[in-house]
Amino acid sequence: MLVIPAIDLKDGQCVRLRQGKMNESTVFSDSPLDMAGHWVEQGAKRLHVVDLDGAFSGNLVNSEIVASIVKSFPDLQVQIGGGIRNLESIKFYLGAGARFVIIGTAALNDPDFVAEACQIYPGKIIVGLDTVNGKVATEGWAEVSETSPIEVVNKFSEFGVQAIVYTDISRDGMMKGCNIEATVELARQSSIPIIASGGIAKLADIVDLKAATKTEVGANIIGAITGRAIYEGKLDLMAAQKYCNREASC
């Protein structure tokens, strides 16, 4: 299981939100490129990047910053989301060297777009599922649908989606721990690998998530995204990844 640091981009800065609210952001760096380098030095193999401005506007707002990160760290697996609503956006990011592209709002609104993207770019498409009280949220977390996460997963199970990033918005940025029960249950029902996101605050959360994947048959969780915890020093990225590596070899 990969421990994946997150870089959220807002107004060209590296920020973290609380519960997906744009007016509750904390700036952690004026240089997302330097921050990416820091996480690489700490042993990151994959980086989760979200263009928050893009997610709310539906356009690629911070794309040049993403391109600079990818260019500077070619061995880093960058997965990028936020504002990706068409094939041109996917082409841009993958052409720039991003390893994966995350489709969120457009996946729920237009499943055929996901199917087409998976066909044109096999193995490169991740679907982002952001939830509030067990329902999928869209438009940069601003709108909540009546759709459950497993309904969305079932739609995409035959498309060739590489993974699902599952975020419980109520936990995101709140340092209260990951919603392990819901994450593991989705992973158990899904034929698509799951990347957990939202609320991971300390090493114990990684330990609990890893333990749950071992005990629950069929729970295929391949990564855990962490943001505020590593920025505030509550979680040591290198130590967390070393723990996961040790457990994988047991």
Helix (H, G, I), strand (E, B) or coil at 14: strand
- 166 within 8 A of 153, measured Cβ to Cβ: no
User: Of the candidates 158, 138, 162, 176, which has an alpha carbon nearest to the alpha carbon of residue 223?
Assistant: 162
- CA 238 centroid distance within chain: 19
Tokens representing 248 are 């994988």
User: Which residues, in sequence order, are bridge partners of residue 3?
Assistant: 224
Q: CA–CA separation, 26 vs 15, rounded Å?
A: 5
Active site residues: 8, 130
| Dihedrals phi, psi of 62, to nearest 5 degrees | -110, 30
